[in-house]
Amino acid sequence: MNLSFLTFLRNLPKENKQFAVIGLGRFGRAVCSTLYQLGYEVLGTDIDEKLVSQVLTNKIASHAVQLDSKEPSALKEAGILEF
């Protein structure tokens, strides 16, 4: 992850304590991990159950759920509108 992106994440307003990350590939996992380490509550989602399990096992997000992000009802049911 490049330095300017890390600077951006560190400068996020602290009032917003929750983030949802859709897609837990290499970039999504890095975003989850960085936000989580900075003290934010992070919800990670992916259609691939294996990636969701990795995020939970590695404890790089507060929550992780397997769902199809192309389905608005699945996102709503997961509580993504609250993040």
- Residue 58, domain CATH: 3.40.50.720
CA atoms of 66 and 15, how far apart (whole Å): 27
pLDDT, mean of residues 18-32? 96
pLDDT per residue as tens digits for the range 34-51: 999 989 999 999 999 999
CA atoms of 39 and 46, how far apart (whole Å): 22
**β-bridge mates for residue 60, sequence order:** none
- Decide if 9 contacts 40 (C-beta within 8 A): no
Q: Is it the case that residue 5 has pLDDT exceeding 80?
A: no
Domain extent, residue 31, equals 3-82
Confidence band of 19 (pLDDT split at 50, 70, 90): very high
pLDDT per residue as tens digits for the range 47-72: 999 999 999 999 999 999 999 999 99
